[in-house]
Amino acid sequence: MIAPLAIVSAAAAVTLAVLGIAFVLTAYRVITGPTLPDRILGLDTLTGIAIGFIAVIAVKTGFALYVDIAIALGLVGFLATVAFARFVLSRGALRTGPPPAGEEQAVAQTPGKTTRKPR
């Protein structure tokens, strides 16, 4: 009969290999992403993969402190994704040069009033 520790060790090794492949593929997407939102999504995925690495190492070593670190990383990763998303939204509202042909004028909204931006 196979010992439970051997099963956990083998499963952890396989999981770390799969996470390593996912990390490399996601890092490639972050580096070569065609758009900024693709890169932000890749960074969010990298955070999730890093949490997976930490969780697997926590199970393999038996240290419960790693789980707390993974939870903290999840919180920081979520806040970073929200900050990047706000950056992309604010960057998209700022447009330089004339609008593309056939597109209406951009509308600037401020609290309490709506005005049209000049071309």
Domain boundaries, the chain: 4-95
Single pTM value for the model: 0.73
**Digit-coded pLDDT (tens) for 34-81:** 988 899 999 999 999 999 999 999 999 999 999 999 999 999 999 999
The strand ranges marked E within the chain are 107-110, 113-116
Q: What topology does CATH give the domain 4-95?
A: Helix Hairpins (1.10.287)
Cα distance between residue 22 and residue 51, in whole Å: 13
User: Is residue 1 very low, low, confident or very high in pLDDT (cuts 50, 70, 90)?
Assistant: confident
Cβ contact 47:73 at 8 Å:
yes
Q: Which residues are CB-contacts of 95 (< 8 A; sequence separation ≥ 6)?
A: 106
Residue 107 above 60 pLDDT? no
Greatest alpha-carbon span in the chain:
77
Q: What is the mean pLDDT of residues 3-24?
A: 96
